[in-house]
Structure 1
Amino acid sequence: MAKPVAARGFARDRVVDAALELFAQRGIRGTSIQMIAARLGVTKASVYYQFQSKDDIVLAVAKPLIDDIRHIQRVAAMLPSHQARRDVALSGLIDLAIRHRQVANVIYGDPCMRQLMNNRPALRETIDGFTGLLFGPESTETEVVAMTLLTAGIYGCTADVRLDGISDDALRAKLQEVVRRFASTV
């Protein structure tokens, strides 16, 4: 008899949660399938039953973030000007970085994630499309540096332990205010 879908879904969620905790502690490269299995108190085979590879686990951890990025792109695509699309992208980035604080900070800038993105054309296309919203069709080097600084700062604020006491709503408001000020100078 086949395993019920709900049970497998729950097991997959447990693997993703354990992987996320370990990725946060050790990075993606520093986390093995064996470590994930040990964290769950199961065998490696049990983890492989849920996911074919560690890359698949990384993608499952990143999926909520990627889904949000795709949503932001769909919304921005309906807007008439580059500035309006950039504003939606920045606002959406703030929302997703706050909503997925732990995931965003584990995934953002991790060399393994960058390599995985480069090996998956659909994922690379999503990230490039989002980057295009921020940079625009003919950005200067200064604009690219400014947007890179701004996006890194958004992720940095959601990861900074000094800001842990700020509610998500308050942090969102403060980030949007700073982004508005900063983006108007670029």
Structure 2
Amino acid sequence: MRRCANGVIGLMLLALLGAPLSAAQKGEKGKRRGKRPRPAQVQVLNQWLKDIELSDEQKAKVDELRKEFAPKFAALRKEQNEILTPEQKKARRDALRKAKQEGKSFREAAKEIAKSMNLTDEQKEKMAEIAKKRKELTAELREKLLTILTDEQKAKLPKRGVRRGKKAAGPGAPGKKKGKGRRKKTES
């Protein structure tokens, strides 16, 4: 149960902090631009499609998906931001900026960023609920995207649940340990 809760909190923090860090990495150093109107963005959709060539018809359908899902993802972001205090938002921004300067990936920086925000238990619960909604919304988006793509294009999509980085196998990995656990006492 605790492992599940930790996983949900981890996903929540990844969702909460991923968009600002990836956006910060793409921006130009030292230049702060004013707010300009831009097309509706769905970050995860952009990541999925970055290596896939789309036909004009597919591009039009993907744009429709963006228009449908961008407000939904924006509402979740807004809901997350309303949970945080101004001090927590500043701490998050500062931690993101520091991580960017150090060249860290989001996954490497996520724990430090979460720690810097000092979330209360109530905030963690609310963030977990939002993370669950985001996960469901992302699954719905993926299903609709799959109806647009060819089999060849589907093969190029990143696999769900694939973790990049260290493998969870070998010494020190989670799972059953030999010689550990409860043993029955035998009478000798």
Max Rg structure: 2
Relative to its length, the structure with more helix (as a share) is 1
TM-score (norm 2): 0.30
Could you state the TM-score of these two structures normalised by the residue count of structure 1?
0.30
Greater relative contact order: 1 or 2 (C-alpha under 8 angstroms, separation 6 or more)?
A: 2
